[in-house]
């Protein structure tokens, strides 16, 4: 293949120009960058009125906020005033004690005793009469939730008397 003479001349000029550019960059062309001086930093203006520590509420007053979950599990807001609508106080687990747990391949039940002495068995996913929902049942504990509150009850560990060990 024969390249015309004029094309050969332009390719030669291009090769020489690129070689000259590479040599100039290698020798430090563009290395003398001059930066502008750093601007002087001025302090931000101080506020006219300062807040003192006495104006802020005590940290203990926020304890209820960070101990509670931000959202309810059912993603619905808490009712405004349940007692005003005639509902009973459903937030207390004081009347229930966890007495046993029954677990099989297809059944998870928690066995409770009420303060009246009645036995009550509740499956996973069901709700106690006071409104607490059984979220998860394991061999040793039951996880319950009510609105944005969560609680875990464990089976009591019974110890044999020292005389029975012989």
What percentage of residues in the chain have a pLDDT greater than 90?
Answer: 20
Domains in the chain, number: 1
Is residue 122 domain-resident?
yes
Is residue 75 domain-resident?
no
Q: Is the pLDDT of residue 19 over 90?
A: yes
Is residue 54 domain-resident?
no
pLDDT per residue as tens digits for the range 66-93: 776 666 666 666 555 544 444 444 456 8
Is residue 109 domain-resident?
yes
Residues 28-54, mean pLDDT to the nearest whole number? 73
DSSP codes, 80-123: S-TGGGT----S--TTEEEEEEEE-SS-EEEEEEETTS-EEEEE
Domain of 126 in residue numbering reads as 93-154
Is residue 30 domain-resident?
no
Q: Which CATH number belongs to the domain containing residue 130 in this structure? A: 2.30.30.830
Query: What does the block give as tokens for 133?
Result: 């929902």
Q: Is the pLDDT of residue 118 over 60?
A: yes
Is residue 20 domain-resident?
no
Is residue 116 domain-resident?
yes
Q: In angstroms, rounded to a whole number, what is the distance separating the alpha carbons of residues 116 and 135? A: 24
Q: Is the pLDDT of residue 143 over 60?
A: yes
Q: Is the pLDDT of residue 42 over 60?
A: yes
Band the pLDDT of 62: cuts 50, 70, 90: confident
What is the structure's pLDDT at 81?
54
Its sign, for the CA torsion 95, 100, 105, 107, is: negative
Among the ranges 67-76, 129-138, 145-154, 155-164, which has the highest mean pLDDT value?
A: 129-138
3-state secondary structure at position 8 = helix
């Amino acid at each position: 293949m024969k390249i015309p003479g004029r094309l050969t001349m332009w390719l030669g000029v291009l090769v020489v120009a690129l070689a000259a550019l590479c040599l100039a960059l290698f020798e430090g062309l563009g290395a003398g960058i001059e930066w502008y001086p750093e601007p002087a930093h001025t302090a931000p203006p101080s506020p006219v009125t300062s807040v003192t520590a006495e104006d802020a509420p005590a940290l203990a007053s926020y304890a209820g906020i960070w101990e509670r979950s931000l959202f309810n599990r059912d993603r619905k807001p808490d009712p405004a005033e349940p007692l005003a609508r005639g509902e009973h106080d459903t937030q207390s687990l004081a009347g229930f004690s966890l007495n046993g747990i029954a677990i099989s391949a297809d059944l998870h039940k928690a066995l409770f005793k009420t303060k009246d002495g009645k036995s009550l068995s509740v499956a996973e996913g069901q709700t106690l009469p006071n409104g607490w929902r059984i979220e998860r049942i394991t061999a040793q504990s039951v996880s319950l939730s009510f609105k944005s509150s969560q609680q875990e009850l464990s089976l009591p560990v019974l110890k044999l008397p020292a005389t029975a060990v012989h």
